[in-house]
Amino acid sequence: MSVTGGQPLPLSLDRLFDTPGLSGPVPAMARYAPDGRSIAWLRPADDDFERLDLWLCDLTNGSSRCLMDARALGEERSLSDEEKARRERLRVFTGGIVEFEWAGDGKAILFTLAGCLYLQRLTPGSVPEPLTEEEEFITDVRVGPKGLIGFVQDRNLWLRETDGELRQLTTEGGGSVSCGLADFIAQEEMHRFDGYFFAPDGRRVAFLKVDEAPIPLSHRYEIDAGGLSVHAQHYPYAGGPNARVELGIIDLDDGSISWLQWSGADSEYLARLAWRPDGSGLVIQRQSRLQQRLELVDIDLAGNARILHTETSDTWINLNDDFRLLRDGRHALWSSEQQGLRRLHRLNLDSGELTPLTPADGMVLRLIDVDEANGQVFVEGWFELPTQRHLYRVDLAGEAPPERLTQAHGSHQTQIAPDFATFVDRREHLTQPPCLEVRDLGGSLVAELLANRTDTPAHPYHPFLSGHRQAQLGELTAADGQRLFYRLTPPAESHDGPRPVIVSVYGGPGVQRVQDAWPPLIHQYFARRGWGVFELDNRGSGNRGRDFERPIHGHLGAAEVADQMLGLDFLATLGWVDMNRIAVFGHSYGGYMALMCLAQHPDRFRAAVSVAPVTDWLLYDTHYTERYLGHPDASGEGYAASAVEAWLPGFARARPGSLLLMHGMADDNVLFTHTSRLMHALQENGVLFDLMAYPGAKHGLAGRRTGLHRFRVIEAFLARHLEGDEDG
C-alpha cells in the first residue's frame, strides 16, 4: 500500500540525485559540549547535499543555528593523498566540514576544511580563526588535555601548544614511513583510525610509527579523464608481509622518544591502544596473524609487559571498541562473543574473572559510556529483534537486567551527555529518515534538533509520498536453523501481472543491511518502475554474533549464496513475483555475491549487476582475507573454491549478456585488477557481458554525477533484461 493516497508525483533519477536530498538534511556526527549545555552536529546544506555545514544547539533554550557555512571559507582545494585515502576508509563521501572537535573549555569548536585547521569561537560575531598555514595540508586532528591539539602533516606528528606555538614531534615520516597515522590495514580492516594518543595528564603522547617497506612495492594504474598515472603502492596482498609497526612514547616536556616492545609470540597486529587512567602505562590489544587469538596486554612506561586476558577461537575473533578501564585500575569493561552473541562483561584484571553484565540472548553492538558514580553502563544493541537497535542502561554490578531507554522502534545511534542526564538520538525507521533529538533518560523529549518529517509539506520527499511503497520486514530459516531476516519493497500497484524483483545484496561479514531503518530511496525508484526489491542478510553478515558468522569460515560464497537461494524460494511463494525475471545487484562484497549468485545458479537469475567486486581473494588484503580463509599457504583449496573463476562454466550457461560489471579505475581497496582479470577470463571463454568503468573513481564511486550516471546505466541494463520477453 502507498503511505498516502492521490496521484503519485513522478520520481526521476535526476531528482533522486539532485539537491536538496530527498531523504532530507540527514544529520552526520553530533557531539555534546564538555559542559553538556550545547550540541554541535553536521548536516547537509539545503543547496548542496554533498556539502556539510556545522550547526549548534543551545540546550538551555532549545535554539539551533548554522554556526559555520563551509562556503564562507571559499572554494575547497584538492585533498592530500593521505586525506583522500583516510576519507575513503571512513566512507566519507561529502565535502565541506566533515569532522570537528570541541575545545577542552567548551567555548570553541575546531574543524578542518581543505586541510587547514580552524577555531570557531561561540561568541556572537566571531569568525573562524586559522590555526595552521593554508599552504600546508593537515589531517587527523585530535584535541588533547590542557588545550593541546595534535595533527599529522607530511606524514609526521605535530602539536599546537596552548600558547599557539606549532611544534613538530617526529621527523622520521616520509616515503614508506608515517608517524601518527593509522595504516591502510588498521583503517580499512581493523577500523582503528587513530595513530596517536594523548596521555590523560597531557604530559606524553603515544604514537605509532608505520613502515610499509616490508610490503613489496606494486604499481597501481589509475586512469582518469586526463590519462594514465602510475601509483607505487605497498598493498598487503593475502599471504604476504604486513607493515612494520613500532610503538613510541613522546615526552612533551623534553621531546624525547622512547620505544616500547608491544609484540609477543605470533603477534601480528596492534589492534587497539588505550592509556591507563593515571597515565602510568598503556593497555593494548594484539592479534595473531590468523586472528584466532586476541591478547589484552598491560605495558608500563619502562616497557614491562603483562598479559591481562586472552581469548581464542577456532575460527576468528572480531575486534570491537568496547574495552574501557575503570577508575580503580583493577577492573575493566570487556565485550566478547565467546558464548555466541556479544555480551558485555566486567573483567577483573588481577584474576582474569569475567562477570557478564548483559544476557546471553542479546547482542551488544557498541559501548557508549560509563557512569561509575551511579554504577551504570550505556550500550547500544538488540535484546529482542536483530532488526532493531536501541540504547540500554546496564547495571555495572550485573545484578539487574538491561533497561531500554529508546522507546520508539527502529534504529538508534546515541551519545550520552557528560552529566548522564540526557542523550542525543539519531533515530530512524522504515518510514522515518534519520532525525536528531535530545531526550532525558526517561524518554521525554528535551530538544528536537532536526525533525526531518516527511509528512511536513516543506520536506523534499513530501511531494512523492503518495507513491511511496512501504518496505516489509520478515524472516526465514536457514539450513542450520538460524533466523534470516529480509526486507522487501513491493512494486507499485499500478503495474499489473507478475513483476520482476531485484535482489539487492551485500552479504559479507561486518555489515547488516536488513534493519528497521530508512531504506535507500533508489528502491522506491525501482518500485515505481514496477520492480520489487528484496534484501536478505545471509549467514556470515554482521551484528548477529559468532555462530551466525562462522559458516563462511574457510569457504566464501557458499553458505551466503545458499541463503540467498532460500530468499528466492520465498519470493516464489508470492503471487505477484515473476520468477523468470529475477536480477541480483551488489557493490564490493555484494558485487562478489552478485557474481557468485549468477555463476552458481544461472538458471535462477535473468541478470546480474556487479560493482567493484572481489573476484580473486589472493588479490585482497591480509587482515580481512586471512581472517576468513586462513593463510594461502595452508588454505589453497579454500581460496580456489572461493574465487569467482572457479565458477566460470556458470557464466557460460547464463543468458548471453546478462552480466554488467562496474568498477572505479582508481580503486585502491578492491583494485581494478579484480575486474580486469575476470574480464579476460570471460573473454577467453566466449562469455558476453557489459562493462562500465569510471575514470578516477575510487571504491565508493562517490559523487552526485557518478551516482546518477551509474544508476542510469544500471536501469537501462536491467530494463533490457527484466522488461523484454522471456527469451530476450
pLDDT at 669 over 90: yes
7 pLDDT band (50/70/90 cuts)? low
Over residues 537-549, the mean pLDDT reads: 98
What are the phi and psi torsion angles at 467 (to 5°)? -100, 5
pLDDT tens-digit readout, 324-379: 999 998 999 999 999 999 999 999 999 999 999 999 999 999 999 999 999 999 99
Residue 600 lies in a domain: yes
Strands lying side by side in the sheet with 100-102: 100-102, 108-113, 116-121, 129-130
Last residue of a domain, one of 86, 111, 143: 143
So what's the pLDDT on residue 32?
97
How far, in Å, CA of 23 to CA of 528, rounded? 17
How far, in Å, CA of 233 to CA of 215, rounded? 9
| CATH number for 554 | 3.40.50.1820
Last residue of a domain, one of 143, 160, 181: 143
727 pLDDT band (50/70/90 cuts)? very low
DSSP 175: T
Q: How far is CA 343 from the centre of its chain?
A: 21
Residue 311 lies in a domain: no
Over residues 703-726, the mean pLDDT reads: 92
Placement of cell 552479504 in the chain:
507
Q: Enter the pTM of the model.
A: 0.95
Last residue of a domain, one of 143, 171, 198: 143
For 718, half-sphere exposure in the C-beta direction (CA atoms, 13 angstrom radius) is: 26
Cβ-count burial 403-442 (b if 16+ within 10 Å, e if not): ebbbeebbbbbbbbbeebebbbbbbbbbbbbbbbbbbebe
Is 513 in contact with 471 (CB distance < 8 Å)? no
Over residues 606-620, the mean pLDDT reads: 98
Q: Considering only 58-67, 131-140, 434-443, 681-690, which range has the smallest mean pLDDT?
A: 131-140
218 pLDDT band (50/70/90 cuts)? confident
Q: Mind giving me the DSSP string for 307-367?
A: EEEEEE-SS-----S--EE-TTSSEEEEEE-TTSS-EEEEEETTT--EEE-S-TTSEEEEE
DSSP 117: E
Residue 611 lies in a domain: yes
Q: Categorise residue 703: left if φ over 0, alpha if ψ from -120 to 50, beta otherwise.
A: left
Over residues 446-456, the mean pLDDT reads: 96
Cβ-count burial 518-536 (b if 16+ within 10 Å, e if not): bbebbbbbbbbbbbbbbbb
Residue 86 is inside which H or E element, if any?
A: helix 81-90
Over residues 382-393, the mean pLDDT reads: 97
How far, in Å, CA of 328 to CA of 322, rounded? 18
Residue 378 lies in a domain: no
Residue 716 lies in a domain: yes
Over residues 392-414, the mean pLDDT reads: 97
Residue 621 lies in a domain: yes
Residue 59 lies in a domain: yes
So what's the pLDDT on residue 172?
97
Query: How far lies 299's CA from each of 244, 267, 670, in Å?
Result: 19, 15, 36
pLDDT at 87 over 90: no
Of 256, 85, 284, which is closest to residue 181 (Cα–Cα)? 85
Mean pLDDT computed over every residue of the chain: 94
So what's the pLDDT on residue 6?
53
Over residues 77-86, the mean pLDDT reads: 81
Q: Which residues are catalytic?
A: 588, 667, 699
pLDDT at 2 over 70: no
Domain that holds residue 635: 469-722
So what's the pLDDT on residue 725?
55
Q: Sign of dihedral through CA atoms 151, 157, 161, 167?
A: negative
So what's the pLDDT on residue 1?
38
The share of the chain scoring above pLDDT 90, in percent, equals 88
DSSP 431: T
pLDDT at 728 over 80: no
Cβ neighbour number for residue 356 with a 10 Å cutoff: 13
708 pLDDT band (50/70/90 cuts)? very high
Over residues 286-291, the mean pLDDT reads: 98
pLDDT at 683 over 70: yes
Residue 43 lies in a domain: yes
pLDDT at 75 over 80: no
pLDDT at 231 over 80: no
98 pLDDT band (50/70/90 cuts)? very high
pLDDT at 184 over 90: yes
pLDDT at 401 over 90: yes
Over residues 109-113, the mean pLDDT reads: 94
pLDDT at 718 over 70: yes
Q: How far is CA 382 from the centre of its chain?
A: 19
**Total domain count, the chain:** 2
The share of the chain scoring above pLDDT 70, in percent, equals 98
Residue 673 is inside which H or E element, if any?
A: helix 672-684
Cβ-count burial 497-515 (b if 16+ within 10 Å, e if not): eebbbbbbbbbbbbebbbb
User: All 3 cell numbers of residue 292?
Assistant: 584466532
pLDDT at 221 over 80: no
So what's the pLDDT on residue 127?
93
pLDDT tens-digit readout, 502-517: 999 999 999 999 999 9
Instruction: Spell out where 9-62 has E strands.
Output: 30-32, 38-45, 48-58
User: All 3 cell numbers of residue 633?
Assistant: 599457504
How far, in Å, CA of 353 to CA of 21, rounded? 51
What are the phi and psi torsion angles at 619 (to 5°)? -95, 0
pLDDT at 4 over 50: no
Over residues 64-90, the mean pLDDT reads: 85
Over residues 476-492, the mean pLDDT reads: 97
How far, in Å, CA of 118 to CA of 121, rounded? 10
